[in-house]
Amino acid sequence: MNKVKTIEDVIVNVARIIIDELMFEDVTPETFDPEIDLVDEVGIDSMDLATVALVIQDEYGIRIDEDDYPKLTNIRLIAEYIHNRL
C-alpha cells in the first residue's frame, strides 16, 4: 500500500518513476524540476507517457484516463492529478 501523502512527496515519487522508467541518468528525483515541460523541454513522447501512466496506476491504485495524457505535461500536474484521486 502506498503511504505517500503530501503533494511534495508525490512529486518526488513521480520524478523517481519517470527517471526509472525512462532511464534518465543526469537527474535525481530531488533535482528534477517539477515545472519543466516533459514533452517540449524533456522530449518524452506519448509512448513514454503511457509507460509512466501504467506504473503510476500500479503504485497508487488509481485509474488514469487515456484522454487525460495531453494535460499531464509536467511532474507537478501529474502529482496533482494523482493527489486528487487518492
Partner 1 sequence: MRTHWKFSDILSDPEIRSRWQRVKKYFFLRESTYDMTNRCNIRCEGCYFYEGDKQFVSDNNDPLAWRKLMIHEKERGITFVVLAGAEPALVPELLKTCYQEIPLGAIASNGFKFIPESVGYRIHISVWGNDQTSHAIRKADRLLEKQIKNYKDDPRAVFVYTFTRGNILEIRDVAPILAENGCRFTFNMFSAPVGYAGELRHTRQTLAQTRDVMEEMLETYPENLLFSHYNIMAHTHEKGLHDLFQCSYPRMNPHEDVGLGKTFRQYRADQTWDRNAACCVPDTDCADCRHYASGSAIVTARLFRHATDPESFKAWLDYVDTYLAVWVMGYEKSRNLSRKFVEPPDRT
What residue ranges bind partner 1 (CB under 8 A)? 39, 43, 45-51, 53-55, 57-58, 66, 69-70, 73
CB 41 to partner 1: min, Å: 12
Residue with Cβ nearer partner 1 (30 or 65): 65
CB 68 to partner 1: min, Å: 11
Residue with Cβ nearer partner 1 (6 or 57): 57
Residue with Cβ nearer partner 1 (8 or 40): 40
CB 17 to partner 1: min, Å: 12
User: Residue 40: CB partners within 8 Å, gap ≥ 6?
Assistant: 73
Tell me, what amino acid is at 30?
Answer: E
In whole angstroms, how far apart are CA 81 and each of 21, 26, 45, 71, 85?
Answer: 19, 26, 19, 10, 7
DSSP for residue 66: G
Which cell goes with 70? 495531453
